[in-house]
Amino acid sequence: MTELAGLIIGLLLTLFIYSYLIGDNPLYRVSVHLLVGVSAAYAVVVVARQLLLPIWQQVQANPASPDSVIWLVPVLFALMLLARRLPSVSWLGNTSLALLIGVGAAVALIGSVTGTLWPQIVGVQPATPLQGIVVAVLTICTLLAFQFTALRPRSSGLWQPAIWQRGITAVGRIVLTITFGALFAALVSTGLILLAERLNFFLTELVQRF
């Protein structure tokens, strides 16, 4: 009986999610709120069991060990970040937030350069060196498309990008448009496949039980 109730609830929530295809409605919002709430609760439980509880057990077992003392640094930064919720001491969280953004940006930049851009330049991933050069040039144009500064002033006092800069920006935007279009098409196709698979699963289980 419990498994049957779970199947029915899962089928209803799946239909509620896909009801967004006909427009925003209360059923869709309820299912999204449930999804966000359950995901957040699950993340909190995982962090507490796999991170906070082992740290607490280690500190409690041997408070004077170097490993226990080192854990005080991330705990201190976490408490400083939580202090941003308090207006009187919200400035304490600026250091933690700056460190978090800086480390995240550095990791993302190093990963994109060493894992994507450099292999494309040296021709490790592509089939031919020419293909690697083309992919590397398009990647660079895409990155430069996010440059919003210019060096050549116009007579009106506004700043106008140079011709070569406008050309690179146009190429980068074309690549972004094609990429987003392909990703959207893949997302829609994957969503329809998942919907068909879920409906087939629920219907098969219900037929077998009745």
* Distances in whole angstroms, Cα of residue 161 to Cα of each of 70, 120, 147, 170: 49, 28, 10, 12
Q: Over the stretch 130-166, which tens digit does the pLDDT of each residue have?
A: 777 787 788 888 887 877 665 555 555 566 667 777 7
**pLDDT digit string, tens, across residues 163-195:** 777 788 888 889 999 989 999 999 888 878 887
Cα 83-80-65 angle, rounded to 5 deg:
140
Name the more confident of 45 and 188. 45
CA dihedral 100, 105, 110, 116 (to 10 degrees): 130
Which two tokens mark 164? 């070569």
Mean pLDDT, range 82-99, rounded to an integer? 83
Q: Compute the chain's Rg from CA coordinates.
A: 26
172: buried, middle or exposed (CB in 10 Å: 19+, 13-18, 0-12)?
A: buried
